Structure 1
Amino acid sequence: MGGGPISPLESSFDNLLTPSLFSLLAHHRLPYPDKKAPINFSDFGRDIFLEDPFSPLVKDKAWPALLALSKFGSPDQVPDLTTYLPHPTDTTYPVQVLGLQLLVDNLPRLLFRGIDARWIYAYFNHVSQRLARTWIALPADQRPDSWPRWRDEEGVGLDYFIGVRFWLGTPFVHSELLGNQMIALKFTEETRAVVEKETGTVDPHRKHRDAILNDIYGFPRLLQKGPPQGSDVTREGWTFWMCKLMDIHQPIVDRFLRYPYLNGITGRAARGDEKKWLEEVHHFAEADEDTVRRVREDVKKGRWTPLGEDSL
């Protein structure tokens, strides 16, 4: 890549990082044959936050690619993944980006367990965010998250597009970099604005925006409560809940410059103010003690337990 010699590992990606894999992932993550039809957003939220019908359908295809990507030893050494995508002006580009982004951002969170979870937050997070920074920087008419592109080129309805925006926005939300958090806020506002314009509604959370963006306890509280469920869940209500969930990550990174609940799984030591916050949120989303011990041993010795140790 980048004009240099291609290693055997990189050349093997030609059989792993394929258009068919990316299309498969996009299809199963948003499994709606009629892309113009309304979506049941109660089911949509359940399938993301409460259950996992997705990974069992794609695990056998995705694991070889994830294992190969882990062999570089450092996320900085992973080759430029955009070389496995068509040109941004190609009509298949949006779907292909969505599939590749799901591979490196969503699937590790679903598949990796135990000490393998370190690979999510200290490795694939960085790979995913580097990829996302490439397409977000494209001209507006080439971006794969564009409403006109999905509406006109893919022929999708607003409901389907909301699902696309959710999955393409997560890499920025998952980031501990303030720059990426600022992108996340802008990205979420773009989603909100499209839905408001197309539906003639206004996000009721707008009037509480200052409080949301200063609430360092909001994310654990909102996520533990869970997504909107039931027969009265509307497209607009779910979208505006999603936008709040996305936005409410940012106060934590603003305050601590990272997510304190990831300290253990990444081998970091908690600072005093982080310890207090973790106690106040009842150690929300922290790794178990045995996994943290094993990660710290690896970090101390400058090694990585190979991916798959606890997950396969």
Structure 2
Amino acid sequence: MYVILKRSLQFGPTLAAIRKANMSAETLLAAAKPTDADDWLSLIILLDQISRNCYRDDESALVFTYFDPLARDVSLSAMARGIPDRMRWKLACRPWFYMPLMHSEELADHEKATEEYERMQADVRLLIEGVCAESGPEAEAARMVRARAEEATRLVDNYVDFEQKHFDIVKRFSRYPHRNGPLGRASTEEENDYLENGGETFRR
């Protein structure tokens, strides 16, 4: 964990510069000029994942109020351009495009995330059971998935279940109660009861 945190902190100045410039997704994409799917994926991981290691505890408010919405907008821009489909058969990479939607407190984002993770789930089943291309990325993915079919199925099922867990919380509370402290939001009695009785915090 220490190594992961140390490496993440190397990106702190980049995140700080983005924040100082108060960049929108539009201005950030214009500056970063992502060309291929790897560029888009790297940018989304920087905003959505690495920010969580750089800004913790009380500082996590910056993640929730700035980097999460920014990551969401970049993610939606990527999807509008069909970028995740370029990684359709790269099952270790594709889920990260949808993670910013999972972190959102908007129901529409969770509906989209659920749709995308279920589509990925269906693709894995297709690779295991269906007729696939004889060559190329799809064929290579099929060979890998079929060699470890149980693990691959469990992986995508976990993504669907994890998104559903997030979705259920937002449907119930219209927000994530565990964020109330860092964001200075007053918790309702129901939210306090939820958190005090083992409610999810997702390690903030």
TM band (smaller chain) = 0.7 to 0.9
Matched, 1:170 2:99: yes
Per the alignment, residue 69 of structure 1 pairs with 18
TM-score, normalised relative to structure 1: 0.54
Picking from 142, 150, 170, the partner of 2:87 is 150
TM-score by length of 2: 0.79
For residue 237 of structure 1, the aligned residue among 146, 149, 154 is 154
Q: Counterparts of 1:54 and 1:114 in 2: how far apart (Å)?
A: 17
Whether 1:117 aligns to 2:60 is yes
In structure 2, the residue corresponding to 1:270 is in which secondary structure? Answer: coil
Higher RCO (CA < 8 A, seq sep 6+): 1
Q: CA deviation at 1:180?
A: 0.8
3-state SS in 1 of match to 2:66: helix
Q: Partners of 1:144 and 1:238 in 2: how far apart?
A: 22
1:106 aligns with 2:23: no
Query: Secondary structure at 2:91's aligned position in 1?
Result: helix
Higher Cα Rg: structure 1 or 2? 1
- 1:283 and 1:96 map into 2 onto residues whose CA distance is 32
Q: Is 1:85 the equivalent of 2:14?
A: no
Q: Which amino acid aligns with 2:116?
A: F
1:270 equivalent in alignment to 2:199: no
Quick one: distance in 2 between partners of 1:167 and 1:283? Answer: 21
- Work out the CA distance in 1 between the residues paired with 2:122 and 2:150: 20
Q: How many aligned residue pairs are there?
A: 186
Q: Which amino acid aligns with 2:113?
A: A
Indicate the RMSD between aligned Cα atoms, in angstroms.
2.7
* 8 Å CA contact retained: 2:8, 2:53: no
Q: Within 5 Å, which residues of 2 pair with 1:136-147?
A: 136-138=79-81, 143-146=82-85
Q: Which has the higher helix share?
A: 2
**How far apart in 2 are the matches of 1:112 and 1:167?**
19
Q: For residues 156-212 of structure 1, what are the alpha-carbon distances to aligned partners after superposition, in whole Å with 9 as ceiling and x for unaligned?
A: xx4xx12212211110000001111111111111111111111129xxxxxxxxxxx
Tell me, which stretches of 5 or more residues in structure 1 are unaligned? 1-50, 87-91, 152-157, 202-231, 288-312
| Equivalent residues of 1:69, 1:78 under 8 A apart | no
User: Is this contact kept in 2: 1:265–1:286, CA < 8 A?
Assistant: no
Please give the alpha-carbon distance, in whole angstroms, between the structure 2 residues aligned to 1:268 and 1:113.
Answer: 17
Cα separation, 2, equivalents of 1:52 and 1:94: 29
Over the matched positions of the two proteins, sequence identity in percent amounts to: 24
Which amino acid counterpart does residue 173 of structure 2 have in structure 1? Answer: F
Contact 1:104 1:127 in 2 (8 A): yes
